[in-house]
């Protein structure tokens, strides 16, 4: 039971982790730009010329890569959330469980359906809500 609580806590911290990564990536990008500016102003420190280029470019590249990674769909977290619900999720429960928008939850379910991991469950239909059965989440269960 403690493992389920840990998984639920991990899933619920999705937005906090994304915000932290986004702020860190913007910080790296700004630090790289400041390093370039420092090279142009010729401050009396060692970050001039080729050293500014050698340090600023990787900082900007790493920052941009981290920034783009925050905009990926949280498929892993959705699968973990589905494993907590015995593989049965609907779009509204996924949106509430992951604290994401309904549009993002629909994109996740569409992606899982296209890949063949999610199928409409006919025996678990709720009132006006389509329930999806996610296959392969049994291995996540304790």
Q: Spell out the per-residue pLDDT of the chain, length 142, in tens.
A: 566 677 777 777 888 888 899 999 999 999 888 887 765 565 555 666 777 788 889 999 999 999 998 888 888 888 888 888 888 888 888 888 888 888 988 999 998 888 888 888 777 666 777 888 888 766 655 5
pLDDT at 47: 66
Bridge partner list, 132: 89, 120
Domain boundaries along the sequence of the chain? 2-69, 75-140
Residue identified by tokens 């999705």 is 14
Name which of 66, 23, 31, 60 is nearest 47 in CA terms.
31
Residue 44: CB atoms within 10 Å: 5
Torsions phi, psi of 46, nearest 5? -75, -5
Entry pTM: 0.69
From 1.10.10.10, 3.40.50.1220, 3.40.30.10, 1.10.357.10, which CATH number describes the 75-140 domain? 1.10.10.10
pLDDT at 90: 87
How far apart, in whole angstroms, are the C-alpha atoms of residue 136 and residue 25?
34
């Amino acid at each position: 039971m403690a493992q389920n609580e840990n998984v639920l806590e991990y899933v619920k911290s999705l937005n906090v982790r994304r915000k932290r990564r986004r702020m860190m990536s913007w910080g790296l990008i700004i630090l790289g730009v400041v390093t370039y500016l420092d090279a142009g102003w010729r401050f009396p420190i060692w970050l001039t010329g080729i050293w500014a280029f050698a340090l600023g470019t990787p900082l900007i590249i790493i920052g941009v890569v981290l920034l783009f990674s925050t905009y990926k769909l949280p498929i892993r977290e959705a699968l973990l959330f589905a494993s907590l619900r015995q593989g049965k999720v609907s779009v509204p429960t996924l949106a509430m469980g992951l604290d994401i928008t309904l549009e993002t939850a629909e994109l996740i379910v569409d992606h899982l359906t296209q890949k063949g991991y999610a199928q409409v469950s006919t025996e678990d239909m709720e009132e006006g809500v389509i329930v999806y059965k996610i296959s392969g989440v049994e291995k996540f269960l304790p």
